[in-house]
């Protein structure tokens, strides 16, 4: 992908297609049914949310469900992805965008990184997830 979330020059690679589909699904689900995100994580998954580390699908699901806002809407600005040789078939995905919280006037800028790893069912799960708001 070209850093703008668009594939450049010809058909995109398989990892780019997977990364784009994942990002679309993740943020649509986050904005409409946050509790359902827990199924995207595994027992060994880790989330770093604004510096707070949470481990395991259950703990991550609980953390996401307990965020102190009811409604939000993400708009994605960029998606960058790379295959990861250290996890054969894995994909590193970096996302930047804006987050609009319900009842708030201003959008917040954010960055998020996902390490997607193949699972035994032939799909992917989120092994690592790092989220940060971007201030300034």
Q: Please name the residue ranges forming H helices in the chain.
A: 14-32, 57-65
Check whether 78 has a pLDDT greater than 90: yes
How confident is residue 70, by pLDDT bands cut at 50, 70 and 90?
confident
pTM for this entry = 0.89
At 96-119, the pLDDT tens digits run 999 999 888 899 999 999 999 999
Query: What residues contact 73, with CB distance under 8 A and at least 6 apart?
Result: 31, 99, 100
Select the more confidently predicted residue: 117 or 12.
117
Task: Quote the pLDDT of residue 2.
Answer: 42
At 18-43, the pLDDT tens digits run 999 999 999 999 999 999 999 999 99
Residues 118, 107: Cα–Cα separation, whole Å = 34
Mean pLDDT, residues 54-83 taken together: 95
Mean pLDDT, residues 120-125 taken together: 93
Task: Quote the pLDDT of residue 8.
Answer: 41
């Amino acid at each position: 992908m070209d850093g703008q979330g668009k594939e450049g020059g010809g058909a995109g690679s398989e990892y780019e297609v997977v990364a784009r589909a994942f990002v679309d699904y993740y943020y649509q689900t986050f904005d409409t049914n946050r509790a359902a995100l827990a199924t995207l994580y595994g027992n060994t998954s880790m989330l770093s949310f604004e510096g707070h580390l949470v481990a395991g699908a259950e703990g991550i699901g609980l953390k996401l469900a307990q965020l102190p806002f009811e409604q939000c809407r993400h708009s994605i600005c960029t998606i960058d992805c790379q295959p990861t040789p250290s996890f054969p078939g894995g994909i590193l995905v970096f996302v930047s965008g804006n987050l609009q919280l319900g009842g708030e006037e201003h959008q917040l800028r954010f960055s998020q990184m996902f390490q997607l790893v193949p699972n035994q069912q032939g799909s992917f799960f989120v092994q690592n997830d790092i989220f940060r708001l971007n201030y300034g």
